[in-house]
Amino acid sequence: MTRTRWIWLSCGLPYLLFFSWYTSFGGPLTEKEINEYLVYFDQRGIAAEQRRMLEQFMRTDTGDDFVILNVIDMYETPLQVAGVKPADSSSDVLDKYMEYMYPALFSRASHPVMMGNAANTAMELMNAPGMDHWTQGAMMRYRSRRDFFDITSNPAFSGSHDFKVAALRKTIAFPLDPWTQLGDPRLVLALLLGLLAMILSWREALRSASITDKSSA
């Protein structure tokens, strides 16, 4: 195999590995999976309205990735639940919640797409009294709904979720699917690796031409 082919193979193989990890190939949730998740949520004793909402979300699964749009308003002083210290801020308590979430997310190719602090009160409200003040906003990408429910049905999530309740005065979260973004990591990585392979191939071509010229001389 030529050096140029080795260059493209060395760039292409890592990309294929990343693409296969970052992309969901499992398709929509099956009936068996839906029933298993619902049994778990029933055992947790969730409210009937929330159960219907979750089941609807499962049964409309597209099999693709999606994002959850979050707007967050945190308490000035967090609620004093088990594991919260008197000196903890709401940000500290939310970090305790994310101690479970981040490893669970990243292991499933799920991650924040956008995060930021509120720069002002709400600049436009329509039929939403009391919704003018927020602390943060974020968008969280999930590889699939299957990954989302694997995370939220893990018993470890139930305990850490108490920290979220203690830190947040109010929050709104809803999923977006389908969704688009200009900086999809699969596209960005393909462009970077493709550029790297082209540069290295160009250098190899110059090196080969130089060797040929010297041999001819």
Q: 69: helix, coil or strand?
A: strand
* CA 80 from centroid of its chain's CA atoms: 29
Give the DSSP letter string of 110-178.
Answer: -EEEEEEE--SS-S--SS-TT----SEEEEEEES-HHHHHHHHTSHHHHHHHHHHHHHEEEEEEEEESS
In 10 A of CB 122, how many CB atoms? 12
Reported pTM: 0.89
Question: CB within 8 A of 31, min separation 6: which ones?
Answer: none
The pLDDT profile of the chain, 217 residues, written as one tens digit per residue, is: 688 899 999 999 999 999 999 999 999 999 999 999 999 999 999 999 999 999 999 999 999 999 999 999 999 999 998 889 999 999 999 999 888 889 999 999 999 999 999 999 999 999 999 899 999 999 999 999 999 999 999 887 776 888 999 999 999 999 999 999 888 999 999 999 999 999 999 998 888 877 776 666 5
Residue boundaries of the structural domains of the chain? 65-177
Q: What are phi and psi of 33, to 5 degrees?
A: -65, -45
Residue 3: which of 211, 185, 169 has the closest Cα?
A: 211
- For domain 65-177, the CATH class is alpha beta
